[in-house]
């Protein structure tokens, strides 16, 4: 196969545009392009930020005066619950996702993210899930148990309405988007880079996002598990959190904060990444301490998982246990401090220059340092016991999150908006907007430290005038309205810039990273050809690259077969090892998102059997995504330019989708580990144990299930072996599917015979959950095996094109290991309460 | 200074300490505020200098990262953590002394206090304690999670259904102190307060004895 | 370099803090189980309780493991760009992890365990 002949830059642009562009009109709904979806994520997140901001103003209006009759406690509880929920789940996380989706491929020198349709699906899940929450707010049935949803307040006894279900289901829905983005970001950074971009040349932003995405993969599963368990309790009365029947409300707190604290760093790290990209530009000096910063990010990533109990110091656990978490909480300040000093050192080493983004970054430094200092204070157990659950904590968390996320994002908006719009601002409103936001913020929250220490608890809807909190609250409220005016001014400024800003040629800030080598505003394909990177990718010459790339003198500087192509590289050395053919715009992600939304709505309105219908539709739609991928004949290596060639991704050894499955299973294993932790926690800590009736499991059936699980994994591998020997794998795949189906049947039989009533006690409910986990994994395994048969029938498999079966085999292997562990856990849990044979 | 102290006064002010527990924390707080202010000014000054005087040798990258980013926070945090561990040990409930023991049970939205000795003595939303003596509170909940907090005496402890937690507090002088539920517990969270009366020890016995199961101050 | 070998080399970046994480899980579990089983009331020689002895032993064990990793990373040498880079960062992270382990669990030496 020949390399298409080079063409003129204009012709190349038109050819690529014809392939990559999203269709206008209704065709917009089929967009899968990262530039389009990144912008949509950012705009949607900003809309939710505005909604959350309005909620905050209503809260401040209520608290401005004592004994306020503005809203009653029922409405007030919805307001603060939704403010926290919207800002955390519907603003901060999606905003960073949008930011990453828009910028990451351009910074890495790729044409798109690894899984464009997954980006689109994640976007729809986010918008639909967010809409459910906002609709509930407008209908007056919004969640009202706090954004932390502590049981038993959020359980059906004390929150009988639909409110809590909306939180649990809506947020879980939105988290599908967060997890899919995490997998996509991880794989894109590891595989989709420009040739020559070895791991030591990654732009620092990529390191930040890599660690963030991995943290999401391990941080979100505990919350998803907690939400599922609580929804199971609310819907089917399985007593995971009911202290009378062997559950424990503390289990929820552990699962929630095991997610909740890493979440803070998941929000901060991308912003820190943005800072690390902006500071060198304005310092006119490469980032100082690149390797130390990476070690610091890794340290933060881990340490942030070891301090969740500092939200729970008052629950009554041993002082030594508190000490672990207290020390870890203090410790995490060190790598954060290191980053701050690395930024200062970068400024001190260069020739710094002031501009609007730097103004906002100065605001970041002031606010975030104060937030960090109060954070260290709160890490000290005796002080925490006084300040916990008061407005001191409200002040601290806003200093950290607004300082650590909102201010850097405002700076980033001014820094990268010219890239999005191709226009520069003339800075008229950005300066007063900054002073209003900055001044209003400090007026609101600095005083709040004192309000808290004067004893004002969080989440109270009113307070008596004699409490001495009157003036502080009034001033905080005035400050919050100043801040709101500042944000309004910011919006006006952005609109003015988008509408009336001056066009510029290229790279207005003199930045030194690859995203400025694309035309601005960027075309859908980002780069007309892909660069070869020869230095660290956050300190190169984008203008030089830009000219060469537009002329098609890089890699893949041609349009071939109407394919959307980008390069995959080896993770460490960064040399091309595959041509990744990306999927065309399609409306399937929207349909899949709608079907997923239908599942959520069915569950919300307790139509559980009806939910099976949209579930089946969702699975079918997801499988149909792959109809257009792959080929029916072997292609062999394809030329990629510069005399090099590489295999197309479905013929490559380790394509992005294989890695995606590895990371998915990593998140899945975290979910399973959290479930096992929950089971052990309940058996060890919860009141009302041992259970009144102990399960004695059917050992024969459990052994049979284990054998079938292992058999399925072996059949999956045999299918792969036969395919490699150019024989049909269908028979083995059929046996694999049959084994999985057998596991499902046997596990169902065990549940039916041994756990007739899982609502009896947490002992029964936990066994039910573990067996349910095994059941679901074999169910999915069965579908994947049958899918392999289908791919074989369509001629998409060969010795070279074995990707589908290799991904399936990963699943079968995992299902066998996790399944056997699950069965052993069932036996161990029964024995631990005396259920010996 | 007088102005500052009066600003910190209040029925529920953790800074207006009336017991050793709260006083230790208030002292820790003032130390941390002073230290934080110093660190803040230092970081701010270095940041300003990095802008106005870049390239100076005393602003070398290695010095900044190792000195400012590693050594300074490590030293500060190690000192602080050691102090708070020592302080935390002193807050612990040790079995040696045999103080007064009062059971506090939280419900939506009221506090029930059960007193020792005299059988079944109860009070609601009104807590009587002897001044000058340590009191152990065993705290639990009858429904959702609440948190037992008398800011002027010391830190809080959660009232969790199915669990019983203990906290030891001491009021140095007779007087009136405010108590409040610190954990969000539903619609009545804001009004879930209780009044604490610390009495001279003899007076305490006189007050507690006549209380019967119908209780004083029941709502 | 094969992709799986690359993956392993990347994992070395996390090795130090994986030891810290394991220490966290192990010590927190051992603490909870020990308190549950009343090991702090089981006195061994010199007034030390079983609880204290087992916790300190686990603490030291994980510190040694972390130090071992630091020594290992210090010994193995790479000269080429990416591999040397990864090793340096892994080395920094391992040192940070040993320091973190020593700091986070120092309480086992003197604080009341239950």
Chains with ≥3 CB–CB distances under 8 Å to B: A, C
Chains with ≥3 CB–CB distances under 8 Å to A: B, C
Residues of B in contact with A384 (CB under 8 A): 155
pLDDT, residue A467, reads: 83
Touching check for A376 and chain C: CB below 8 Å?
no
CA distances from residue B1 to A449, A472, B7, B19 in whole angstroms, order as listed: 19, 19, 10, 21
Q: Which CATH number fits domain A662-832: 1.20.120.80, 3.40.50.1860, 3.40.50.300, 3.40.50.880?
A: 1.20.120.80
SS3 A230: helix
pLDDT, residue A5, reads: 60
Residues of A in contact with C104 (CB under 8 A): 306, 324, 327-328, 331
Residues B78, C103: C-beta atoms closer than 8 Å? yes
Q: Tokens at residue A719, please?
A: 């299918």
The whole domain housing C71 covers 14-109
- Partner A, chain B 11-70, Cβ-Cβ below 8 Å: 11-15, 22, 24-25, 28-29, 32, 36, 39-40, 43-44, 46-47, 49-51, 53-56, 59-61, 64-65, 68-70
pLDDT, residue A704, reads: 97
pLDDT, residue B98, reads: 65
- In a domain? residue B217: no
The minimum CA-CA distance between C105 and chain A, rounded to whole Å, is: 6
- In a domain? residue C80: yes
pLDDT, residue B209, reads: 77
Residues sharing a CB contact under 8 Å with residue A544, sequence separation 6 or more, in sequence order: none
Q: Which residues pair with A569 in a beta bridge?
A: A576
Which chain C residue is nearest to residue B92, measuring alpha carbons? C112
Q: Would you say A826 and A767 are in contact if contact means Cβ atoms under 8 Å apart?
A: yes
By DSSP bridging, strand B193-199 and strand B126-130 are: parallel
Residue ranges of chain B with per-residue pLDDT less than 50: 213-219
A439 C-beta neighbours (distance < 10 Å), count: 15
- In a domain? residue C24: yes
pLDDT, residue A129, reads: 96
Distance of alpha carbon A706 from alpha carbon A826, whole angstroms: 12
Into how many domains does chain C fold? 1
Which chain C residue is nearest to residue B70, measuring alpha carbons? C96
The whole domain housing B11 covers 2-91
DSSP code, position A530: B
C43 pLDDT band, cuts 50/70/90, is confident
pLDDT, residue B219, reads: 38
Into how many domains does chain B fold? 2
* pTM of structure: 0.96
Which chain C residue is nearest to residue A318, measuring alpha carbons? C114
Q: Would you say A93 and A182 are in contact if contact means Cβ atoms under 8 Å apart?
A: no
- Partner C, chain A 499-558, Cβ-Cβ below 8 Å: none
pLDDT, residue B217, reads: 43
Touching check for B51 and chain C: CB below 8 Å?
no
Residue with tokens 């498999």: A797
- Partner B, chain C 60-99, Cβ-Cβ below 8 Å: none
Distance of alpha carbon A264 from alpha carbon A301, whole angstroms: 11
- Asked if B153 and B197 sit in the same domain, the reply is yes
CA distances from residue A400 to A369, A405, A462, A737 in whole angstroms, order as listed: 8, 8, 26, 50
Q: Would you say B131 and B171 are in contact if contact means Cβ atoms under 8 Å apart?
A: yes
Q: How confident is the model over A589-615, as pLDDT tens digits? A: 999 999 999 999 999 999 999 999 999
Burial (CB count <10 Å: 0-12, 13-18, 19+), residue A716 = buried
Among B33, B60, B91, which residue terminates a domain? B91
- In a domain? residue C3: no
Residues A302, C97: C-beta atoms closer than 8 Å? yes
Domain residue limits, chain A: 388-460+467-509, 662-832
pLDDT, residue A836, reads: 63
- In a domain? residue B161: yes
By DSSP bridging, strand B122-124 and strand B110-114 are: antiparallel
pLDDT, residue A219, reads: 95
CATH number at residue B146: 2.60.40.420
Residue ranges of chain A with per-residue pLDDT less than 50: 1-2
Residues sharing a CB contact under 8 Å with residue A132, sequence separation 6 or more, in sequence order: A166, A169, A170, A173, A597, A600, A601, A604
Residues sharing a CB contact under 8 Å with residue B108, sequence separation 6 or more, in sequence order: A158, B143, B144, B185, B186, B188, B192
Minimal Cβ distance to B92: which of C103, C107, C112: C112
pLDDT, residue B92, reads: 80
Q: How confident is the model over B192-216, as pLDDT tens digits? A: 999 999 999 999 988 887 665 444 4
Q: Could you tell me which of A534, A561, A562, A563 has the C-alpha nearest to residue A548? A: A534
Q: Could you tell me which of C27, C114, A314 has the C-alpha nearest to residue B89? A: C114
pLDDT, residue B207, reads: 86
Q: What is the DSSP string of chain B?
A: -HHHHHHH-STT-TTS--SHHHHHHHHHHHHHHHHHHHHHHHHHHHHHHHHHSTT-GGG-HHIIIIIIIIIHHHHHHHHHHHHHHHHHHHHS--SSS--EEEEEEEETTEEEEE-SSSTT-EEESEEEEETTS-EEEEEEESSS-EEEE-TTT---EEE-BT--EEEEE--SSSEEEEEEE-S--STTGGG-EEEEEEE-HHHHHHHHTT--TT-BS--
A606 C-beta neighbours (distance < 10 Å), count: 12
- In a domain? residue C9: no
Touching check for B85 and chain C: CB below 8 Å?
yes
Q: How confident is the model over A774-829, as pLDDT tens digits? A: 999 999 999 999 999 999 999 999 999 999 999 999 999 999 999 999 999 999 99
- In a domain? residue C32: yes
Residues B43, A369: C-beta atoms closer than 8 Å? yes
- In a domain? residue B138: yes
Q: Is the peptide bond before A489 cis (omega within 30 degrees of 0)?
A: no
CA distances from residue B28 to A315, A644, B36 in whole angstroms, order as listed: 22, 66, 12
């Amino acid at each position: 196969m020949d390399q298409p002949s080079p063409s003129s830059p204009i012709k190349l642009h038109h050819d690529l545009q014809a392939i990559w562009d999203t269709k206008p009109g209704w065709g917009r709904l089929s967009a899968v392009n990262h530039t389009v979806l990144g912008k949509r994520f950012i705009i949607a997140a900003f809309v939710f930020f505005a909604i959350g901001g309005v909620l905050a103003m209503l809260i401040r209006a209520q608290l401005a005066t004592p004994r306020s009759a503005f809203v009653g406690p029922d409405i007030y509880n919805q307001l603060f619950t939704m403010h926290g929920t919207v800002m955390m789940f519907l603003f901060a996380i999606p905003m960073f996702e949008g930011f990453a989706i828009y910028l990451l491929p351009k910074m890495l020198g790729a044409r798109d993210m690894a899984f464009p349709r997954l980006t689109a699906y994640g976007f729809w899940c986010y918008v639909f899930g967010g809409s459910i929450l906002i609709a509930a707010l407008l209908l007056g049935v919004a969640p009202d148990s706090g954004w932390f949803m502590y049981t038993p307040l959020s359980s059906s006894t004390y929150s009988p309405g639909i409110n809590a279900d909306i939180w649990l289901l809506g947020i879980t829905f939105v988290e599908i988007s967060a997890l899919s983005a995490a997998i996509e970001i991880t794989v894109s950074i590891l595989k989709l880079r420009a040739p020559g971009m070895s791991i030591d040349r990654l732009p620092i932003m990529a390191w930040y996002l890599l660690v963030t995405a991995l943290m999401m993969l391990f941080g979100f599963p505990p919350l998803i598990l907690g939400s599922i368990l609580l929804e199971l309790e609310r819907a089917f009365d399985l007593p995971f959190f009911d202290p009378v029947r062997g559950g424990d409300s503390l289990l929820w707190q552990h699962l929630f904060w095991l997610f909740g604290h890493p979440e803070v760093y998941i929000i901060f790290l991308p912003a820190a990444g943005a800072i690390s990209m902006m500071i060198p530009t304005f310092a006119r000096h490469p980032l100082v301490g690149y390797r130390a910063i990476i070690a610091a990010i890794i340290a933060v990533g881990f340490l942030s998982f070891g301090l969740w109990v500092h939200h729970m110091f008052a629950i009554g656990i041993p002082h030594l246990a508190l000490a672990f978490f207290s020390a870890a909480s203090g410790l995490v300040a060190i790598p954060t401090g290191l980053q701050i000093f690395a930024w200062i050192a970068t400024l001190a080493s260069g020739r710094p220059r002031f501009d609007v983004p730097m103004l906002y970054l100065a605001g970041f430094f002031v606010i975030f340092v104060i937030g960090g200092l109060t954070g260290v204070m709160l890490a000290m157990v005796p002080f925490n016991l006084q300040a916990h659950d008061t407005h001191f904590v409200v002040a601290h968390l806003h200093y950290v999150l607004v300082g650590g996320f909102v201010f850097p994002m405002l700076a980033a908006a001014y820094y990268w908006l010219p890239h999005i719009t191709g226009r520069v601002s003339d800075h008229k409103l950005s300066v007063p907007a900054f002073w209003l936001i900055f001044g209003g913020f400090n007026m609101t929250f600095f005083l709040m430290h004192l309000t808290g220490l004067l004893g004002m608890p969080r989440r109270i809807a009113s307070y008596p005038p004699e409490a001495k909190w009157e003036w502080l609250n009034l001033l905080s409220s005035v400050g919050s309205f100043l801040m709101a005016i500042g944000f309004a001014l910011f919006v006006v400024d952005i609109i003015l810039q988008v509408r009336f800003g001056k066009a510029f040629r290229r790279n207005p800030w003199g930045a030194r990273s690859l995203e400025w080598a694309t035309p601005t505003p960027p075309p859908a394909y980002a780069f007309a050809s892909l660069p070869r990177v020869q230095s660290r990718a956050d300190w190169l010459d984008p203008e030089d690259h830009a000219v060469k790339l537009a002329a098609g003198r890089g890699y893949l500087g041609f349009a071939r077969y109407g394919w959307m192509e980008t390069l995959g590289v080896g993770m460490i050395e960064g040399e091309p090892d595959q041509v990744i053919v990306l999927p065309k715009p399609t409306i399937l992600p929207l349909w899949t998102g709608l079907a997923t939304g239908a599942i959520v709505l069915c569950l919300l309105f307790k139509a559980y059997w009806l939910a099976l219908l949209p579930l089946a539709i969702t699975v079918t739609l997801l499988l149909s995504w792959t109809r257009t991928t792959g080929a029916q004949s072997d292609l062999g290596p394809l030329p990629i330019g510069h005399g090099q060639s590489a295999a197309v991704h479905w013929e490559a050894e380790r394509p992005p989708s294989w890695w995606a499955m590895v990371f998915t299973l990593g998140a899945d294993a975290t979910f399973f580990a959290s479930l096992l932790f929950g089971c052990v926690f309940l058996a060890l800590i919860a009141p009302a144990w041992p259970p009144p009736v102990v399960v004695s499991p059917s050992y024969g059936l459990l052994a049979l299930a284990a054998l079938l699980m292992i058999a399925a994994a072996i059949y999956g591998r045999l299918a792969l072996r036969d395919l490699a020997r150019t024989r049909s794998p269908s028979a083995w795949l059929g046996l694999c599917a049959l084994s999985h189906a057998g596991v499902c049947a046997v596990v169902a039989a065990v549940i039916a015979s041994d756990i007739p009533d899982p609502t009896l006690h947490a002992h029964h409910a936990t066994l039910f959950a573990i067996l349910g986990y095994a059941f679901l994994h074999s169910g999915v395994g069965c579908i994947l095996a049958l899918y392999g048969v289908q791919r074989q029938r369509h001629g998409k498999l060969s010795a070279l094109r074995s990707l589908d079966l290799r991904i399936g085999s990963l699943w079968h292997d995992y299902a066998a290991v996790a399944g056997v562990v699950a069965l052993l856990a069932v036996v161990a849990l029964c024995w631990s309460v005396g259920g010996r044979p | 200074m007088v102005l500052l102290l009066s600003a910190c006064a209040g029925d529920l002010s953790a800074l207006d300490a009336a017991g050793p527990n709260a006083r230790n924390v208030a002292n820790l707080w003032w130390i941390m505020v002073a230290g934080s202010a110093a660190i803040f000014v230092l970081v701010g000054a270095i940041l300003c200098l990095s802008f106005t005087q870049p390239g100076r040798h005393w602003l070398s990258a290695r010095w900044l990262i190792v000195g400012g980013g590693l050594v300074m926070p490590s030293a500060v945090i190690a000192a602080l953590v050691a102090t708070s561990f020592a302080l935390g040990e002193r807050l612990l409930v040790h079995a040696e002394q045999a103080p007064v023991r009062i059971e506090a049970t939280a419900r939506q939205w009221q506090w029930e206090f059960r007193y020792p000795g005299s059988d079944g003595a109860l009070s609601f939303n009104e807590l009587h304690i002897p001044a000058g003596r340590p009191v152990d509170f065993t705290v639990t909940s009858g429904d959702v999670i609440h948190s037992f907090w008398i800011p002027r005496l010391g830190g809080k402890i959660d009232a969790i259904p199915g669990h019983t937690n203990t906290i030891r507090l001491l009021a140095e002088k007779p007087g009136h102190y405010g108590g409040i539920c610190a954990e969000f517990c539903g619609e009545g969270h804001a009004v879930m307060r209780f009044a604490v009366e610390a009495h001279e020890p003899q007076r305490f016995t006189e007050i507690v004895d006549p209380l019967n199961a119908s209780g004083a101050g029941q709502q | 370099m094969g992709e799986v070998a690359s993956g392993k080399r990347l994992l070395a970046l996390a090795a130090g803090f994986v030891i810290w994480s394991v220490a966290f899980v192990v010590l927190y579990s051992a603490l909870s189980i020990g308190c549950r089983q009343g090991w702090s009331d089981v006195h061994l020689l010199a007034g030390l309780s079983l609880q204290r002895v087992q916790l300190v032993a686990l603490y030291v064990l994980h510190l040694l493991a972390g130090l071992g990793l630091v020594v290992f990373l210090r010994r193995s040498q790479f000269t080429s760009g990416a591999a040397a880079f990864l090793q340096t960062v892994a080395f920094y992270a391992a040192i940070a992890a040993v320091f973190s382990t020593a700091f986070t669990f120092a309480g086992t030496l003197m604080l009341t365990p239950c």
